Homo-oligomer: A and B are copies of this chain.
Amino acid sequence: MSFILWFTGLSGAGKSTLAQSVSKALRERGVTRLEVLDGDEVRTHISAGLGFSREDRRTNILRIGYVARLLARNGTVAITAAISPYTEDRDEVRAASTAPFVEVFAAASLDAVAERDVKGLYKKAFAGEITNFTGVSDPYEAPSKAEIVVDTGVETVAESTQKILRGLEALGLIAAPRATSEARP
């Protein structure tokens, strides 16, 4: 069963890390057709030249959505990890997909990601050295109907990964792992 697993969340909320972690877990469960479309990688390959205006952000998301749905409708799991700050754009991608679309909200608070500031970007954004920075000087519209919500400001990567896998099981998109009995006679 193929599907689109669409992460959304602030910069530094752990989308790419979780995309890789879920990817690894799915491969261990036997999923062989799978691609992670990471935000940065996609900007290199299909969105070079696009900036961070409202229109360019929209174009970027629709391009990722296009690639993801080509993959998913041919039996490949597509995991995306772009900020995708606008509800309208996410919903447009959702509506265009014929394969199941699973939105995962990496719901770390602005305080949490700015405190961590892994790439040092928030410091620059708050200082005004980077403009159009999501959550600081550009909007982030949190999803109200995400299929899965993980609080990456609090949970460990392993905890969030497990939550996502259980969510996919509950949606019937992956099988639950077989119970392994350790107590054998």
Contact = CB atoms under 8 A, between A and B. Distances in A.
Contacts of A119: none
A62 B46 CA distance: 8
Nearest to A37: B70
The bracket for how many chain A residues form the interface is 10 to 19
A63 B66 CA distance: 12
Contact of A48 (B59, B67, B76): B59
Number of copies: 2
A33 interface: yes
Interface in A40-81: 45-46, 48-49, 59, 62-63, 66-67, 70-71, 74-76
A89 interface: no
11 contacts: A34-B74, A35-B70, A45-B62, A46-B46, A46-B67, A48-B59, A49-B49, A71-B76, A74-B74, A74-B76, A76-B76
